[in-house]
Amino acid sequence: MLVRAGCGGCVPARATLESVCADFGLQVTCIDVDEVAATDPDLRAEFGDRLPVVLLDGREHSYWEVDEARLRADLAH
């Protein structure tokens, strides 16, 4: 999950993501786009205006909110 410190939407989205992932025995990894900007400025440039962003297998799955139904379906496959 891509996040930013102080992001009002990141906290509830992370809680939802962690709940869904726990059902599948998965851990959530959060990356603060501002913290990694020094070494990966493209990450912030690409995703920084629509945080939080859920990545699944390195690809954008959803942003601003966790699409829980779609995520569960995708994780089940």
Structural domains of the chain, with CATH: 2-76 (3.40.30.10)
Note whether 72 and 25 are within 8 A (CB). Answer: no
Per-residue pLDDT of 24-53, as tens digits, reads 999 999 999 999 999 999 999 999 899 999
Query: Measured between alpha carbons, how far is 64 from 61 in angstroms, rounded to an integer?
Result: 11
Query: Measured between alpha carbons, how far is 73 from 53 in angstroms, rounded to an integer?
Result: 18
pLDDT-derived band of residue 67, with 50, 70 and 90 as boundaries? very high
For residue 67, count other CB atoms closer than 10 A to its CB. Answer: 15
**Entry pTM:** 0.90
For residue 22, count other CB atoms closer than 10 A to its CB. Answer: 11
